[in-house]
Amino acid sequence: MTERRVGSKLRTAGIALAAASLMSACVSPVAGPGGNYARPIGNAPVTANPTPYSTALYCLADYARRYNLPSPRMAVGRISDYTGSVSADGGRQVTQGASLMATSALAKSGARVVERYDTSISELELRYANNRLIGDEGPNAPADSNYRRILAGQVPGSDFYLVGGITEVNYNIRSAGFDAGVGETDTDQPGSGLIQGKIYVMNVALDLRLVQTTTLEVVDVISYQKQIIGREISAGVFDFLNGNVFDVSAGTGGMEPVQLAVRALIERATLEMMANLYGAPGPEVCLNASNDPLNTVGATGGFYPAYDNTGTNNGQTRADPSRWHDGRDGAVRRGRY
């Protein structure tokens, strides 16, 4: 065996040994003092998830409160995926949580929302209360009468509800690309190179309708679509050096999130419908808008204060990415025990 082959095998063995050592430093077959085999990577904090229409939604809520415009009680029904599209790994291509997105959008707009999407817990507790199995103890309540009462009219009804679905997913509406390569026929000369680029466009569409609960009359219908863009660029070099083969490549790519596009569609549709219910003429209502005196609507949604403490509660800090994070909020670290 020649010295060149021996040296090549030694180099290969050395690379394999270094790779094995690097992997063993990250993962251990024995659990460490904390009880884990490995420490998860990544420390990005939890952040708000707005779309370009979120600011307008809570601006609309400010407008309604500023002029004391009452919100009808809103409910959300099924907003399903009617496209039937399936991704390459077998899962659904489009989110199945559009109804949850619509609830968040209504909360951002300052609407009063009543639950109709998942009432299983309420129905179960109502059944238990009807059989006097749930207790509501009071300081002066007699022992034989501390069960929860069922009162007529205790559940408020909805005035309108949102239903609809995701109706279109169109792939490759338009695409373009290029690739270029260069190389030498002589293997003793520097190797070949290749560069590629691709760009493509797809879209998703949504159809929503607003129904008056008492009459089942469809009072508003909106249909929107949004285009989504993706791109990819890659380059590589292939070469022979002293009998060794080198293939080095690098690239970058990105695609606008499909599910965030669905959220943007829902927020835009909700914004238009709630603006109609509030009687808002358009985006000009946001001009010279004063701050919301209740501070109960923001980029993360809306809430009802548990106590009369809107000036001191955590409502104004929900969108702060550092709050409650043990690596970014010093108050949490100081409060450890």
- Is residue 196's pLDDT more than 60? yes
In terms of C-beta distances under 8 Å and separation of at least 24 residues, what long-range contacts does 258-263 make, across chains too?
258/93, 258/94, 258/95, 258/202, 258/204, 258/228, 259/94, 259/95, 260/49, 260/51, 261/204, 261/226, 261/228, 262/94, 262/95, 262/98, 262/101, 262/166, 262/204, 262/206, 263/49, 263/51, 263/101, 263/105
331 secondary structure, DSSP code: H
Who has greater pLDDT, 14 or 41? 41
- Is 163 in contact with 209 (CB distance < 8 Å)? yes
Who has greater pLDDT, 1 or 249? 249
- Is residue 212's pLDDT more than 70? yes
pLDDT at 291 (0 to 100) = 45
Out of 64-73, 172-181, 186-195, 201-210, which region has the weakest mean confidence (pLDDT)?
A: 186-195
pLDDT at 292 (0 to 100) = 44
> What is the per-residue pLDDT across 130-179, written as a single tens digit (0 to 9) for each?
998 988 765 555 555 678 888 899 999 999 999 999 999 998 888 887 77
Tokens of 8: 């090549």
pLDDT at 143 (0 to 100) = 54
Out of 145-154, 200-209, 309-318, which region has the weakest mean confidence (pLDDT)?
A: 309-318
- Is residue 214's pLDDT more than 50? yes
Out of 181-195, 225-239, 308-322, which region has the weakest mean confidence (pLDDT)?
A: 181-195
- Is residue 9's pLDDT more than 60? no
> What is the per-residue pLDDT across 36-54, written as a single tens digit (0 to 9) for each?
888 888 888 989 899 999 9
The Cα 219–Cα 161 span in angstroms is 10
Percentage with pLDDT > 70 across the chain? 74
Q: Among all chains, which residue has been given the structure tokens 């270094």?
A: 18
pLDDT at 240 (0 to 100) = 59
> What is the per-residue pLDDT across 55-96, written as a single tens digit (0 to 9) for each?
899 889 888 988 899 899 999 999 999 998 887 777 888 999
pLDDT at 77 (0 to 100) = 96
**Highest-confidence segment of 58-62, 230-234, 288-292:** 58-62
Who has greater pLDDT, 169 or 13? 169
Which residues does 252 contact at the CB level (< 8 Å), separation at least 6? 232, 233, 234
157 secondary structure, DSSP code: P
Element (H, E) at 59: helix 54-66
pLDDT at 163 (0 to 100) = 97
- Is residue 294's pLDDT more than 90? no
pLDDT at 2 (0 to 100) = 55
Please give the model's pTM, rounded to 2 decimal places.
0.78
Q: In what order do the strands lie in the sheet with 160-182?
A: 112-113, 73-81, 160-182, 192-212, 218-241, 244-255
> What is the per-residue pLDDT across 96-105, written as a single tens digit (0 to 9) for each?
999 999 999 9
What is the mean pLDDT of the segment spanning 228-239?
A: 79
Which residues does 199 contact at the CB level (< 8 Å), separation at least 6? 175, 176, 177, 229, 230, 231, 232
pLDDT at 4 (0 to 100) = 53
> How many Å separate Cα 83 from the centre of its chain?
20
The Cα 260–Cα 216 span in angstroms is 31
pLDDT at 85 (0 to 100) = 87
pLDDT, the chain, mean: 81
- Is residue 293's pLDDT more than 50? no
> What is the per-residue pLDDT across 239-251, written as a single tens digit (0 to 9) for each?
655 656 666 777 7
The Cα 23–Cα 38 span in angstroms is 11
pLDDT at 96 (0 to 100) = 93
User: Mapping DSSP to helix (H, G, I), strand (E, B) and coil, where does residue 10 land?
Assistant: helix
Which residues does 189 contact at the CB level (< 8 Å), separation at least 6? none
